Structure 1
Amino acid sequence: MSSPVGENRPSGPRELGYDVTETKTAGAPAGTDLAAIELRGVKKTFQAHGDAVAAVRGVDVAIGEGEFFSLLGPSGCGKTTTMRMIAGFDEPTEGEVFLHGQDVVGVPPNKRDVNMVFQSYALFPHMTVLENVAFGLRRKGVAKAEVARRVGEMLEIVDLKGRERRRPRELSGGQQQRVALARALVNRPRALLLDEPLGALDLKLRQAMQVELKRIQREVGITFVYVTHDQNEALTMSDRIAVMNDGRIEQLGTPREIYERPATAFVAGFIGTSNVLSGTVARAGGGRAVIEPGPGERIVVPCDAAPGEEIELTVRPEKIDVRSDPPAGDGCALRGTVTEVVYLGMFTNYNVATSTGAEVVVFVQNVSSADDVATRGDSVWLSWDPRHSYVIGA
């Protein structure tokens, strides 16, 4: 998917009328300045068949100006309900919602300075692209010349110039999604809420649109709050991610922090593929603890655990090497038997049953067309750098 080009293209958010004088760098920790969006002690309970069902169980989060912020979690974790409370479609049972410092609990959706894009896009099928994008401006009574200027600039940003006269049925899924984005952004909201907007697209188009969404957000310079259950989407686009589970935020951080240092077993298992190992510390010292599952085996963990203490740790599959001989040095070494080998193009997936009783997944990059480093049934050694062992909850 090509990026928009052209000498007449607006150069940034100021030309589109966005106030960027107080905008912080995307990804900057919220709280140092006035947050774009802040939730304090927010809870939401629904009544179902006479019972109270807690959808959101106490969320505290501040989203900075200009951030691409994602709410990530499985179905039913409370992420969409949280977004709907920001938008005003649902009101919190308890807690406060602030938009740019103003408490908006009780304020209707049309009075909040945010717009929302849904998975269905909700385009008017009988209207052209231009008419769909201009709809909100015309409802507000914006002058005709101003409508034409702003719609033209926004269609340029979302790479739909030249398709003004087409109707939604004449567009691809990705183009329809960009029309919905343009329609929301042309109203110049201070924040845009996106509820799984790429869910209806096929994988290749969804991946291309992830890059496009991040580009558009960077160009208009406003806060995006994005709801998704897709970990790759969140990791690709976000400045920060809130991983939700059972109505609570399990971890809040940058994509790298959440992937490399998961705070809970849930986060470790939900974000990508992770191997969770546990054991009793045999010896410790110098800021390292060592688990010794068997002769010649060791799992070295950077932590302050004491001998005899039970610890749980995680290590990512791509950090592990598979070899036939015991590794030299004082790094991690674990014996096992290959139970499955799956070729996946860019890498090969090995499942290894280890002496700890845990099955470890290993990703080995296919840097050549050589045969697999091991086959099913082979006895192997797994090795990795101790700095890739991370104690869950540390």
Structure 2
Amino acid sequence: MTETQPAPARDDPGRAVPAIELAGVEKAYHAYGETVAAVRGVDLAIAQGEFFSLLGPSGCGKTTTMRVVAGFEEPTAGRVHLHGQDVTGVPPNRRDVNMVFQSYALFPHMNVFENVAFGLRRRGVPKAEIAKRAGEMLDIVDLAGRERRRPAELSGGQQQRVALARALVNRPRALLLDEPLGALDLKLRQAMQVELKRIQREVGITFVYVTHDQGEALTMSDRIAVMNDGLIEQLGTPREIYEHPATRFVAGFIGTSNLLGGEVAEAGGGSAVLLHGPDGRIEVPVRDGVRVAAGERLELTVRPEKIGIGLDKPGDDVCGVRGTVTEVVYLGTSTNYNITTSAGADVVVFLQNATSADDIAVRGDDVWLSWDPRHSYAIGAPQ
């Protein structure tokens, strides 16, 4: 077997073969006499037909991971499998994947149809088949009737859809998208998120999407891998990652999260009671693997939209923390309250303006914060 030929598929009849699988993938660069680890021991399996996102801040290794899948980067260690075949060392043009970048790279001298049909013509596909497949793909991306327009005559969102159609018309088994909506304005970006998910459902192809935008990942993904410093911090569905962040980094990076700490007063039965400030009481479920004992400190997270605000101390059936309002920001559909608790923690609360236009509290008010214990989530002791 030569280096440019994919290895045979692995025989494991008891296991569904992933569309993309990374096993112990590492990627290091050497610069100015130093070794920089961009990706560090990533293990990942992406199912056929899944919309999968690699999410994280700049420099976390997500784009490098995607480039390793595409074949533009060779891993320093580990293996890459596409549909059960080992493609480590196989060049990009021999991997059955296509890639869409933030810059659409459309041919300005070609019209929409010619841009979409370009790859098919290069492969020698018959003319009638080109017309059929390109036309079907333009229907899917909602560009039928614009075949004769040049890229300069299209909006940013339309250009993005042309780039998608050009990548998908070749019927790759997986499509890799590297921050493709980053150049669009907010409203168009939000509209394109819905369009991308619709297109992915219609074509049934595995999408791997790289982004630093949490909203994009939560909106479109079946599963998300949150990356930080070359490692996967958490892998799960959007709901799992948002509601149950596994680490302090994930809790802080995904949406807005309040991190609170306190001394454990009671522990047992899968929950713990924390003391927060002189009169605050927080009950939190404790997941398997987190060791909790009375007298220790524990850190937890609770989302801003889960918290209520009142003037009276809540009962013992809910979590209750006292604090002072430091800022009130009216946002139309909701009002955001910044509150400093009696233990000195900064808390953000989002309240929907569903029943009244009046503020529940104003800056300087002493208030009580309360929430259902089920919405507390322990993430271990503070580091």
Give the shorter-chain TM-score range: over 0.9
Alignment partner, residue 293 of structure 1:
276
Deviates more, 1:143-152 or 1:320-329: 320-329
Alignment partner, residue 254 of structure 2:
271
The reply to whether residue 316 of structure 1 matches residue 299 of structure 2 is no
Deviates more, 1:99-108 or 1:69-78: 99-108
Alignment partner, residue 344 of structure 1:
331
The reply to whether residue 136 of structure 1 matches residue 123 of structure 2 is no
What secondary structure does 2:181 align onto?
coil
Alignment partner, residue 377 of structure 1:
364
1:133-152 Cα shifts (integer Å, max 9, x gaps): 00000000100000000000
Q: Could you tell me how far apart the structure 2 residues matched to 1:272 and 1:331 are? A: 24
Alignment partner, residue 41 of structure 2:
58
Alignment partner, residue 125 of structure 1:
108
Q: Could you tell me how far apart the structure 1 residues matched to 2:167 and 2:277 are? A: 60
What secondary structure does 1:392 align onto?
strand
2:313 to 326, 337, 346: 326
What secondary structure does 1:292 align onto?
strand
Q: CA deviation at 1:288?
A: 2.2
Q: Could you tell me how far apart the structure 2 residues matched to 1:70 and 1:234 are? A: 6
1:278-332 Cα shifts (integer Å, max 9, x gaps): 1110123433211123454201111272211221100000000011111124210
Alignment partner, residue 9 of structure 1:
none
Q: Could you tell me how far apart the structure 1 residues matched to 2:15 and 2:237 are? A: 17
Note the 1:176-255 alignment, pairs <5 A. Answer: 176-255=159-238
1:113 and 1:190 in contact (8 A); partners too: yes
1:117 and 1:184 in contact (8 A); partners too: yes
2:278 and 2:343 in contact (8 A); partners too: no
1:262 and 1:393 in contact (8 A); partners too: no
Alignment partner, residue 11 of structure 2:
none
Aligned AA (2:45): A
Alignment partner, residue 93 of structure 1:
76
Structure 2, unaligned runs of 5 or more:
1-13
Deviates more, 1:141-150 or 1:302-311: 302-311
Alignment partner, residue 10 of structure 2:
none
1:80-111 Cα shifts (integer Å, max 9, x gaps): 00000000111101100000111111111110
Q: Could you tell me how far apart the structure 2 residues matched to 1:325 and 1:334 are? A: 11
Q: TM-score, normalised by structure 1?
A: 0.91
1:174-227 Cα shifts (integer Å, max 9, x gaps): 000000000000000000000000000000000000000000000000100000
Deviates more, 1:306-315 or 1:155-164: 306-315
Aligned AA (2:306): K
Runs of 4+ more than 4 Å apart: none
Q: TM-score, normalised by structure 2?
A: 0.93
Q: CA deviation at 1:393?
A: 5.3
Q: Could you tell me how far apart the structure 1 residues matched to 2:267 and 2:37 are? A: 43
Q: Could you tell me how far apart the structure 1 residues matched to 2:276 and 2:223 are? A: 37
Aligned AA (2:69): I
Q: Could you tell me how far apart the structure 2 residues matched to 1:73 and 1:289 are? A: 31
Q: Percent identity?
A: 79
2:305 and 2:351 in contact (8 A); partners too: yes
The reply to whether residue 280 of structure 1 matches residue 288 of structure 2 is no
1:78 and 1:244 in contact (8 A); partners too: yes
What secondary structure does 1:217 align onto?
helix
The reply to whether residue 111 of structure 1 matches residue 94 of structure 2 is yes
Give the CA RMSD over aligned residues. Answer: 1.3
Structure 1, unaligned runs of 5 or more:
1-30
Q: CA deviation at 1:33?
A: 0.4
1:347-380 Cα shifts (integer Å, max 9, x gaps): 1110100012111110011113421100000000
Paired positions, count: 364
Alignment partner, residue 135 of structure 2:
152
Alignment partner, residue 7 of structure 2:
none
1:256 to 223, 239, 251: 239
Q: CA deviation at 1:42?
A: 0.3
What secondary structure does 1:121 align onto?
coil
1:161 to 123, 140, 144: 144
Q: Could you tell me how far apart the structure 2 residues matched to 1:79 and 1:208 are? A: 24
The reply to whether residue 390 of structure 1 matches residue 377 of structure 2 is yes
How has the CA–CA distance of structure 1 residues 92 and 393 changed in structure 2, closer, same or farther, with 3 Å as cutoff?
Answer: farther
